[in-house]
């Protein structure tokens, strides 16, 4: 266990508690304090990531420990930027615990040295990994927003103007915010897949190898492509979009972890213990 991770986890945990306080007490001081705690944790997290990068001489995603730590860092950064842009305060109730969970999981997973065939110092691969993780972070936030939408819709249809109804934003704001997350995430995912294909051609001499990771990544891409197509072309939004965002994230989560553990492929090295 790397004890240097504990201050970051502590700050993220405190931020999660702050957002919980904001949810129950609806006082702005809790919201601001939680944001500042997450921001401080992210800055410290960034410093530690920089140290790891300099020490390894490559992007620190060589095993499951580093991958989870990196994913938590990216999610924190994306949340902080988009929270500031959209002012969707209640989203922190979901995002902060998820960030904390990723960081805590990295702490408990052994940091096992792995010698990878892939060159993690390659600019193509660095760009591919970073942009893919940014896209996945946005799509994770889209899933959180989708869950909030379904909760609020149920409150409105059931005329239950109680706890969550008074604390959640309007369906219109949740729907538009979810669309923003999906649009950004899908764009990043598309760019990430393209750069991955280019790197595969350079590294292995072929763009596509039919690897399980590639197949499930394509399935994930198609789900979000369908979501955006329905919204842009057919004008469908609301509940259906929220459900597709949740389903898409579930498939993406399986692609991120499940495929590596259950199926063979050239991405398996990144989830070794």
Using the predicted structure, report yes or no on whether residue 56 has a pLDDT greater than 80. Answer: no
Q: What percent of the chain has pLDDT over 90?
A: 42
pLDDT at 161: 65
Give tens-digit pLDDT for 130-187.
Answer: 999 999 999 999 999 999 999 888 888 877 667 776 778 888 889 999 999 999 999 9
The backbone torsions φ and ψ at residue 229, rounded to the nearest 5 degrees and listed phi first, read: -65, -45
Other C-beta atoms closer than 10 Å to the C-beta of 203 total 15
> Residue 261: its pLDDT value, please?
67
Q: What is the pLDDT of residues 204-215, one digit of tens each?
A: 667 777 677 778
Residue with tokens 């990878």: 116
Six-digit token string for 72: 């938590």
> Percent of the chain scored above 70 by pLDDT?
86
pLDDT, tens digit, 9 for 90 and up, residues 78-96 = 999 988 787 788 888 989 9
Asked if the model's pLDDT at residue 125 lies above 90, the reply is: no
State the pLDDT at residue 272.
Answer: 47
Q: Using the 8-state DSSP alphabet, how is residue 263 labeled?
A: S
What pLDDT does residue 133 have?
94
Domain ranges (residues) in the chain: 1-112, 116-273
Provide mean pLDDT across the span 43-63.
87
Number of H helices, E strands in the chain: 10, 0
The answer to whether residues 149 and 169 touch, using CB atoms and an 8 Å cutoff, is no
pLDDT at 121 over 60: no
Confidence tier at 115 by pLDDT (50, 70, 90): low
- What Å distances lie between residue 236 and 20, 49, 228, 231, 240, CA to CA? 33, 41, 9, 5, 7
Distance CA 242, CA 152 (A): 12
> Is 217:255 a contact under the CB 8 Å cutoff?
yes
| Proportion of the chain in helix, strand, coil states, percent, rounded to 5 | 80, 0, 20
Handedness of CA 20, 23, 26, 28 (dihedral sign): positive
* Cα separation, 136 vs 129, whole angstroms: 11
Bigger pLDDT: 119 vs 72: 72
Residue 114 confidence (pLDDT): 57
Angle at which helix 171-204 crosses helix 64-86, to 10 degrees, equals 140
| pLDDT value of residue 217 | 86
pLDDT of residue 122: 67
pLDDT category, 273, cuts 50, 70, 90? very low
The mean of the pLDDT values for the chain is 84
Rounded CA-CA distance 107/35 in Å is 22
Six token digits for residue 92: 């922190």
Per-residue pLDDT tens digits for 211-256:
777 788 888 999 999 999 888 887 778 888 999 999 999 999 888 7
Is residue 63 exposed (0-12), middle (13-18) or buried (19+ Cβ within 10 Å)?
buried
Q: Which of 16-25, 39-48, 75-84, 222-231 has the highest mean pLDDT?
A: 39-48
Q: How many CB atoms lie within 10 A of CB 149?
A: 26
Residue 118 clears pLDDT 60, i.e. is over it: no
| Cα 158 from Cα 29, distance rounded (Å) | 31
Q: Across residues 48-69, what is the average pLDDT?
A: 86
């Amino acid at each position: 266990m790397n004890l240097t991770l504990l201050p970051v986890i502590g700050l993220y945990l405190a931020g999660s508690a702050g957002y919980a306080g904001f949810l129950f007490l609806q006082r702005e001081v809790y919201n601001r304090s939680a944001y500042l705690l997450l921001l401080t944790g992210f800055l410290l997290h960034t410093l530690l990531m920089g140290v790891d990068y300099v020490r390894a001489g490559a992007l620190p995603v060589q095993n499951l420990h580093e991958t989870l730590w990196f994913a938590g860092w990216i999610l924190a950064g994306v949340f902080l930027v988009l929270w500031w842009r959209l002012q969707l305060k209640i989203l922190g109730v979901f995002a902060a615990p998820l960030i904390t969970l990723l960081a805590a999981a990295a702490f408990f997973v052994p940091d096992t040295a792995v010698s990878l065939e892939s060159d993690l110092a390659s600019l193509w691969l660095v760009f591919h990994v970073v942009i893919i993780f940014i896209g996945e972070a946005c799509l994770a936030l889209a899933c959180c927003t989708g869950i909030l939408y379904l909760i609020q819709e149920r409150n409105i249809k059931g005329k239950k103007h109680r706890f969550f109804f008074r604390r959640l934003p309007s369906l219109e704001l949740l729907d538009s915010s979810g669309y923003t997350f999906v649009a950004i995430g899908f764009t990043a995912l598309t760019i990430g897949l393209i750069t991955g294909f280019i790197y595969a051609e350079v590294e292995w001499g072929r763009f596509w190898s039919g690897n399980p990771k590639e197949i499930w990544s394509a399935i994930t891409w198609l789900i979000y492509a369908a979501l955006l197509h329905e919204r842009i072309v057919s004008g469908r939004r609301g509940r259906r979009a929220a459900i597709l965002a949740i389903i898409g994230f579930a498939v993406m989560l399986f692609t991120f972890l499940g495929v590596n553990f259950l199926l063979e492929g050239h991405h398996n090295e990144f989830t070794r213990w």
